[in-house]
Amino acid sequence: MMTKVWSDDDKARFTAERDEKLTQMQEQLASGVQHLMATDGWVAWLKIARHFHTYSLNNQLLISVQHPQATQVAGYRAWQASGRQVRRGETGIRILAPITKPATTEDGTPILNQNGKQRRSIVGVKPATVFDISQTDGPSLAQQPSQGRPLQGQAPEGMWDNLHQYATQAGFSVTIGACQAEGMTDFRDRSVTIRDGFEQAHATTVLAHEVGHVTMHNPQDAHEPARDYCRGMIEVEAESFAWLVNDDWGLDSSTDSFAYLAGWTTQAAKQQHKTPTEILTASAERIRGAVARYLTFRHEPGPDHPSAALREQINYSLTHTTPPTTPASRTLRIHAALQSRHRNAAGPTR
């Protein structure tokens, strides 16, 4: 059988059609998440959630030692802003709050973030006091709406195998087995684990999510620019990747993905002091590029397909597992962000 040779016009047409489809899919994704977040339950929860902070691992340990039964903690004024009042005589929980200053280079030039605002550097810590909800009185707080349910039934034919192959060619093993979360990616031993017991459709969409991590969050990827990582943004990017890939295959994961994305978008917005809409658009081009590379891989018809560049990148990754251009500090940042990251239907947790 003769292999189709792609002309320059074929490649240009393929790229244009792929990019147009990606634009439509991303617009649909953003619309679906924003619609969910506009419902009464989400609006009520978002109004409450903006008052509460995400605590570091060190502060989580301090909280658990001083108040083992604590479930939701915040500062005195944050509780007041949410409509509740700390009871007189309650003993606060002592944590460490960061001391920051505007970030500059050695010559005093301001260091800006991707939005053009000056970054702030942590220069120390100071004692701070928070209280658990059990130490307060007031109206009940709105709760985060329930997340979507696992998908049922079969995945499109060939989808699991294709995603499995994509992860394998990137240097990662894929197994089904014991896993506390729905799925987990470990960059240290380059492995992806999908929890046993799911129906094929849900197991496959979890694999798509983990492949999103493999594609966008590998600390050993020399082609990936250094950037700041937070748990919320990592999950938004991976699940956006998964939904776009699922949609291309014809697997409808909207009920699961939109709820998952809404929860993590809110979490990332709190962590980065942005609105949920800003979070959804902040990584749009990054996600788009990752999905475009996968779609090129998926629809590859022959050796002259425009995915040759992708194959070169994969070969580079396999022969340069620890590129010298990868700063150790960046690897530590990503491992820290992913330390408690799991693809879990329970959604964001402290």
Note whether residue 49 is domain-resident: no
β-strands 73-74, 85-86: how paired?
Answer: unpaired
Nearest in space to 176 (alpha carbons), one of 153, 187, 160, 155: 160
**193 backbone dihedrals φ, ψ, rounded to 5°:** -120, 130
pLDDT digits (tens, 9 = 90+) for 119-168: 888 888 788 899 999 999 998 876 555 556 788 899 999 999 999 999 99
Q: Are residues 184 and 303 in the same domain?
A: yes
Residue 317: pLDDT over 60: no
Residues 320 and 176 in one domain: yes
**How far apart, in whole angstroms, are the C-alpha atoms of residue 182 and residue 210?**
10
Q: Which of 102, 137, 172 is the last residue of a domain?
A: 137
**pLDDT for position 201:** 93
Both 114 and 242 in one domain: the answer is no
Is residue 2 in some structural domain?
no
Q: How many CA atoms lie within 13 A of 2 on its CB side?
A: 3
Lowest model confidence (mean pLDDT) among 11-20, 26-35, 90-99, 119-128: 26-35
Buried b (16+ CB within 10 A) or exposed e, 201-230: bbbbbbbbbbbbbbbbbbbbbeebeeeebb
pTM (2 decimals)? 0.55
- In a domain, residue 345? The reply is no
In this structure, are 222 and 129 located in the same domain?
Answer: no
Label residue 84 by pLDDT band (50, 70, 90): very high
Listed residues 137, 160, 188: the one ending a domain: 137
Same domain, 107 and 158: no
Judgement on whether residues 168 and 247 belong to the same structural domain of the protein = yes
Q: Quick check: 276 and 269 in contact, CB under 8 A? A: yes
Residue 58 lies in a domain: yes
> Are residue 67 and residue 88 in the same domain, yes or no?
yes
The span from the CA of 87 to the CA of 82, in Å, is 15
Q: How confident is the model at residue 48 (pLDDT cuts 50, 70, 90)?
A: low
At residue 196, the pLDDT reads: 93
Instruction: Give the span between the Cα atoms of 326 and 334, in whole angstroms.
Output: 12
DSSP state letter for 38: T
Both 213 and 102 in one domain: the answer is no
Please tell me which residue, 197 or 346, carries the higher pLDDT value. 197
Tell me: do 116 and 162 sit in the same domain: no
129, part of any domain: yes
Per the domain annotation, does 269 fall within a domain? Answer: yes
Does residue 157 form part of some domain?
Answer: yes
pLDDT score for 115? 62
- State which of 106, 137, 168 marks the end of a domain: 137
Residues 34 and 181 in one domain: yes
The tokens for 315 are 């070969």
pLDDT tens digit sequence for 229-272: 567 778 888 888 988 898 889 998 877 777 777 777 777 777 77
Q: What gap in Å lies between CA 184 and CA 258, rounded to an integer?
A: 20
Could you give the 3-state DSSP secondary structure of residue 219? coil
Residue 64 has pLDDT above 60, yes or no: yes
Domain range for 292: 10-39+146-338
Q: How many domains does the chain have?
A: 2
Percent over 90 (pLDDT), the chain: 22
Rounded to an integer, the average pLDDT of 167-180 is 91
Q: Which of 77-81, 155-159, 305-309 has the lowest mean pLDDT?
A: 305-309
> CA nearest 268: which of 318, 228, 300?
228
Residues 202-209: what's their mean pLDDT?
94
More confident residue, 155 or 100: 155
- Residue 44 resides in a domain: no
Average pLDDT, the chain: 74
**322 — pLDDT class (breaks 50, 70, 90):** very low
| Residue 56 predicted with pLDDT over 70 | no
Helix (H) or strand (E) holding 143: none
Q: How many separate helices (H) and strands (E) can be counted in the chain? A: 12, 8
Clarify whether residues 170 and 263 are in a common domain: yes
- pLDDT, position 123: 82
User: What pLDDT shows up at residue 306?
Assistant: 39
* Residues 94, 98, 103: CA angle, nearest 5 degrees: 175
Whether residues 198 and 310 share a domain: the answer is yes
